[in-house]
Homo-oligomer: A and B are copies of this chain.
Amino acid sequence: MTDLLAEMKRVKARVDGLILNQLLPESSSIKEVGLLYRMMRDYPMRQAKGMRPFLCVTTCRAAGGKEDDALLTAACIELFQNWILIHDDIEDGSELRRGEPALHRKYGDALALNAGDALHARTWEAILLNGRSLGLERTFAVMEEFSHMVNETTEGQHMELGWVVGKRWDLSEKDYYEMCTRKTSWYTVASPCRLGALVAGSRGGMLDQLREFGISLGIAFQIQDDCLNLAGDQKKYGKAKSDDILEGKRTLILLHLLAVASQGEMDRVISIMNKKRESKSADDVSYVMSLIDKYDAIGFARKRATELMKEALFTLRGIDWKGDRDAAEMLTSFARFAVEREW
Q: How many positions in chain A have a CB within 8 Å of any CB in the partner chain?
A: 49
Give 25 pairs: A residue, B residue, CB < 8 Å, sorted on A: A30-B159, A33-B158, A35-B158, A87-B114, A87-B117, A90-B109, A90-B110, A91-B109, A92-B110, A108-B165, A111-B158, A113-B113, A114-B158, A114-B161, A115-B158, A117-B150, A118-B155, A120-B150, A121-B150, A121-B151, A122-B151, A124-B143, A124-B150, A125-B147, A125-B151
Chain B residues with CB below 8 A from A182, complex form: 30
Is there contact, CB below 8 Å, between B110 and A91? yes
Contact B154 A121 (CB under 8 A): yes
Flag whether A140 is at the interface (Cβ < 8 A): yes
CB distance from A95 to the nearest CB of B (A): 16
CB within 8 Å of B: which residues of A?
Answer: 28, 30, 32-33, 35-36, 84, 87, 90-92, 107-111, 113-115, 117-118, 120-122, 124-125, 128, 131, 136-137, 140, 143-144, 146-147, 150-151, 154-155, 157-159, 161-165, 178, 182
B120-A158 in contact (CB<8A): no
Q: A136-B136, A144-B128 are in contact. Are A159 and B111 (CB under 8 A)?
A: no
Residues on B with C-beta less than 8 A from A151 are 118, 121-122, 125
